[in-house]
Amino acid sequence: MAKLTNIQLFCILFVTMAVTPYQVLAKLLAANVAQHGWVVIIGSIAPGLLLVWIYYYILVNSRRTFPGMLEEHLGTLIGKTLGFVYIWVFFLVVVMSLVIFANFFLSNVLPGMPISILLIFIILPAFYALRNGLETTARVIEIIIMTGYPLAMVLLFLGLGPETDWSRLMPIGSFAMADIAKGILLVSSYCSFMIVVLTLGPFCHQPRLLWRWMLSAYGLFVFSVLVMVVIPIVAYGPALTAVQTFPIFNIARATNIAGFIHNIEIILVSAVMPGVFAILAVFWFVTCYSIQQVFGLQDYRVMIGPTAIMAGILAVLLVPNIHFLYIMLDQIFPWIFITIFGIFPVILALVIRVKRPKGTPSGTTADKK
Amino acid sequence: MNIKPFISIIAILLISFLYCNGCYNRVDLGDSIAAVAHGLDISPDGTRVVSSGQFALPPQADDDDAPKFLVRSASGPTFSSAEQIMATSLPRDPVWSMAETFIIGENIARRDISLFLDHLARTNAVREVSLLFLAYNSTPEEVLKTETAPEDTAGRALVKMIQAQEAQIGLYSPVTIKEFLYKVSTAGVEPVLPQVKIESFEGKDRLSISGLAVFRGKQMVGSLNEQESRGYHFMQSNTRGGLFVINLPDPARPGEQSLQTLETINSTAVVKPVLNQGQLKMRITITAEGNIYEVAYPHILFDLSQLGLFEQQANAAIQSDVEACLRKAQACQSDILGWGQAIQRQQPALWENLEADWPAQFASIPYEIEIDFKLRRTYLQGRGSVEE
């Protein structure tokens, strides 16, 4: 059985949570809560910690990997039915990542490039990575995070030029609670991508110690999204951030240090592309692995080819234009993800708790291979 | 772990990125011409927009008198279509993303700035760090055609002019497209633009930066002169550099005054809305420090009382400049100083009542100004070099 190191799992968890917010969260939060994005992120810490705890609780109280643990705790019929639903939602994340990246790339970088070529050249590496196995994919993602993440963050901080005005984060307090709740939902929906730990956690050396790495990944995620949301606001103000399609990219375009370092947005693209590869590879693996588990296949690799074609086609068909994409990101996807990746695991955890025999300490069933 | 597949994946990733590096949007150097400045205006009848471009020509090795730039203009229903029309008369592809200067015509500024705002914000060929200017009493095309020795092009010359004078004189600050878009899109603040004038000097035209164009909503509504612009400069939250002149009694000629030049090292302005029995007043506190740059009578003795007099007169001079700026801004009903933003941040409930007709409200808000200027140094000399 493949083995992942805890560092690799940390990198995988972080990249699945952080890549999509890096591209879209600043605009979404500015459109919903104006300059109060940082308030939303602080408010989302509690739900995020709850999700981390829920995932860890399910992980240590299950013998099988996800979605097999659905059958383990809920029975074969309900387990397989829910597993089938989860396959499609995981696949939705794959397609969504492709769509966001394609729109980002074709809006800001190379408008003249055919979308099919772009999709082929982002799907192909992920396809090859999955064919070579989880360990290899995890190692590549580890390298990507260690090289790409500092670069991505430095580029954001370089955008703090002389026009930065921290008072653009004011005033605090003139917000509607419904907007703040929606913002917390948005941030929590990206945090819920950590659900992949239920599939990948059992592949680690010491699953019982995973809580440290899960908390660390979540902590880094909170810090990162805080930076991603605050810097566009102090650089552009909430009104301008809300109307731009990808504010982070504009930050990189507008960076000009002493008139010498400028036009560095291509470095940002170089950091984003591997990140998109990483989230694509992880959720694609989880999708194929879930198909293997639900349908009892011998190996998940047989599904990589067909799902690759489906992903490419759906990425073109899912949204007709970028405006529709943002409507889905703002109003539809968060509800889907928080329900499937958030509420269902909470219910599963409750079921595990209720079904646990009295007197049995928590976690005793998780003797991992 | 088997290292071979790991290296293979990295290699495939790198190869994939190579295919995403720009082949589809490539423009060969020999097929392109760099736009160094871009002009945006509207026809006199207001039916078509006019796009002008100043393009840098390659230097000719054996001909020092060869033209260094080319100016082309075209009109169209939108700026993008005007640029397409312009491209049909150019044998090379214009690279608009290299334009570091954008000149807005006074016609279009007074008519409606939203006609060019989308062009500045939406297209990826426009870089937000480019500087914006307004062509005062002229058109962008005329500005671009003006020779600006020793620089080759007006676009480059304007960038250098405004950057140099910001540090040395401190009258006008560069305005980037990013800053302009921010102020246009944000409630409670209005933008300004440095004005470019064409002056005739010894039979030749030359460019000068003179005054600031004031906007309200979607239109240009007035201009700040030099004194008012200096007041605007002092009202910014943090500034560095600048010279200003004060009056002092001339001891050599009783009853008369002479002018002394002071230099501002830095200044900080804090604007605070104060509510007093339901009446709003803006309290402006400016803290500045500076040096003595030049004195008119070199036999002056720099004792503490004399320096105190310098500081007193400096406070009065700064107050006069700031009041001039405030009077003009309120006369134009244009909140170029960001008072609305200050109220929004510090008194959000009050802002909700004022926001709807803020320009009219702004025009009648009283203010009190407190200046604290401190002299620090006198450069290379203390007292004057001429004995009385």
pLDDT tens digits along A272-308: 999 999 999 999 999 999 999 999 999 999 999 999 9
What pLDDT is stored for residue A1 in this prediction? Answer: 64
Query: Does A363 map to a domain?
Result: no
Nearest CA in chain B to A168: B345
Chain A residues inside the 8 Å CB shell of B181: 240
For chain B positions 351-380, those within 8 Å of chain A (CB to CB) are 352
What pLDDT is stored for residue A365 in this prediction? Answer: 44
What pLDDT is stored for residue A368 in this prediction? Answer: 41
CB contact under 8 A, A163 and B176: yes
A163: distance to nearest CA of chain B, Å? 7
Question: Which amino acid, residue B348?
Answer: P
The continuous run of DSSP H or E covering A262 comes out as strand A261-262
pLDDT in tens, B142-201: 999 998 888 888 999 999 999 888 877 888 989 999 999 999 999 999 999 999 999 988
CB contact under 8 A, B9 and A129: yes
- Beta-carbon pairs below 8 A across chains A and B: 103
Query: Does A1 map to a domain?
Result: no
pLDDT in tens, A149-158: 999 999 999 8
What pLDDT is stored for residue A41 in this prediction? Answer: 96
In order along chain B (388 residues), what is the average pLDDT of each group of 10 residues?
75 73 70 92 92 87 77 93 91 89 96 93 88 95 90 91 84 92 93 94 89 95 94 87 82 75 89 90 93 73 75 92 96 95 91 92 94 86 62
List, as one string, the DSSP characters of A132-152.
H-HHHHHHHHHHHHHHHHHHH
Tell me the pLDDT band of A164, cut-offs 50, 70 and 90. confident
Domain count within chain A: 1
CB contact under 8 A, B9 and A125: yes
**Alpha carbon distance A141, A100 (integer Å):** 20
Nearest CA in chain A to B130: A254
CB contact under 8 A, B127 and A254: yes
Under 8 Å between Cβ of A352 and A57: yes
What pLDDT is stored for residue A334 in this prediction? Answer: 96
Least Cα distance to B194 among B220, B167, B156 occurs for: B220
Nearest CA in chain A to B19: A121
Q: For residue B6, give the nearest of A117, A136, A253 by CB distance.
A: A136
Under 8 Å between Cβ of B53 and B71: yes
CB contact under 8 A, A110 and B20: yes
Least Cα distance to B190 among B201, B199, B180 occurs for: B180
Is B228-388 a domain of CATH 3.10.180.10? no
Tell me the pLDDT band of A366, cut-offs 50, 70 and 90. very low
Among A104, A121, A231, A277, most B C-beta atoms within 10 A, so best to mutate, is A121
Under 8 Å between Cβ of A188 and A335: no
For chain B positions 215-244, those within 8 Å of chain A (CB to CB) are 237
Chain A residues inside the 8 Å CB shell of B354: none
Least Cα distance to B73 among B177, B143, B25 occurs for: B143
CB contact under 8 A, A105 and B12: no
A133: distance to nearest CA of chain B, Å? 9
Q: For residue B129, give the nearest of A110, A140, A262 by CB distance.
A: A262
Whether chain A has a CB inside 8 Å of the CB on B25: the answer is: yes
Whether chain A has a CB inside 8 Å of the CB on B14: the answer is: no
Query: Does A79 map to a domain?
Result: yes
Chain B residues inside the 8 Å CB shell of A250: 128
Q: For residue B185, give the nearest of A109, A239, A262 by CB distance.
A: A239
CB contact under 8 A, A128 and B9: yes
Chain B residues inside the 8 Å CB shell of A235: 178
Whether chain A has a CB inside 8 Å of the CB on B252: the answer is: no
CB contact under 8 A, A140 and B9: yes
Structure tokens at A82: 């829910």
Q: What is the mean pLDDT of chain B?
A: 87
Query: Does A156 map to a domain?
Result: yes
Tell me the pLDDT band of A362, cut-offs 50, 70 and 90. low
CB contact under 8 A, A113 and B24: yes
Q: Can you list the alpha helix ranges (DSSP code H) found in B151-285?
A: 154-168, 177-185, 226-234
- Tokens 């035209």, located at residue: B205
Strands (E), chain B: 32-42, 49-56, 69-76, 93-95, 101-105, 131-135, 192-201, 204-216, 219-224, 238-240, 243-249, 257-276, 279-294, 367-377
Q: Can you list the alpha helix ranges (DSSP code H) found in chain A?
A: 6-33, 37-43, 45-60, 68-74, 76-108, 115-132, 134-158, 177-191, 197-200, 210-236, 238-243, 247-254, 265-295, 304-317, 322-327, 333-337, 344-355
A58: distance to nearest CA of chain B, Å? 29
CB contact under 8 A, B346 and A256: no
Query: Does A365 map to a domain?
Result: no
Least Cα distance to A241 among A232, A249, A253 occurs for: A232
Least Cα distance to B245 among B170, B335, B352 occurs for: B170
Range of the domain at A85: 6-354
Q: How many CB atoms lie within 10 A of CB B166?
A: 19
B19: distance to nearest CA of chain A, Å? 7
**Alpha carbon distance A149, A228 (integer Å):** 12
With a CB cutoff of 8 Å and minimum separation 6, the contacts of B183 are B189, B190, B191
CB contact under 8 A, A163 and B19: no
Chain B residues inside the 8 Å CB shell of A108: 124
Chain B residues inside the 8 Å CB shell of A273: 17, 20
CB contact under 8 A, B20 and A105: yes
Q: What is the CATH number for A296?
A: 1.20.1740.10
With a CB cutoff of 8 Å and minimum separation 6, the contacts of B241 are B166, B167, B168, B169, B170, B263, B264, B265
Among A120, A164, A174, most B C-beta atoms within 10 A, so best to mutate, is A174
B249: distance to nearest CA of chain A, Å? 40
Whether chain A has a CB inside 8 Å of the CB on B178: the answer is: yes
Q: For residue B19, give the nearest of A112, A117, A132 by CB distance.
A: A117
CB contact under 8 A, B9 and A111: no
Query: What DSSP state is assigned to residue A303?
Result: G
Q: What is the mean pLDDT of chain A?
A: 90
Which of B282-319 are b and which e, b meaning 16 or more Cβ less than 10 Å from the residue's Cβ?
Answer: bebebebbbebeebeeeebebeeeeeeebbebbbebbb
Question: Which amino acid, residue B151?
Answer: E
Chain B residues inside the 8 Å CB shell of A256: 129
B300: distance to nearest CA of chain A, Å? 39
Chain B residues inside the 8 Å CB shell of A174: 348-349, 352
Among B3, B14, B16, B162, most A C-beta atoms within 10 A, so best to mutate, is B16
CB contact under 8 A, B24 and A110: yes
- Ranges for all domains in chain B classified under CATH 3.30.300.210: 228-388
Nearest CA in chain A to B12: A125
What pLDDT is stored for residue B146 in this prediction? Answer: 92
B238: exposed, middle or buried (Cβ count in 10 Å: 0-12, 13-18, 19+):
exposed
Question: Which amino acid, residue B216?
Answer: R
Chain B residues inside the 8 Å CB shell of A107: 124
B128: distance to nearest CA of chain A, Å? 6
A279: distance to nearest CA of chain B, Å? 14
Cα-only R_g, chain A = 20
What pLDDT is stored for residue A7 in this prediction? Answer: 92
Whether chain A has a CB inside 8 Å of the CB on B24: the answer is: yes
**Alpha carbon distance A92, A81 (integer Å):** 17
**Alpha carbon distance A210, A204 (integer Å):** 8
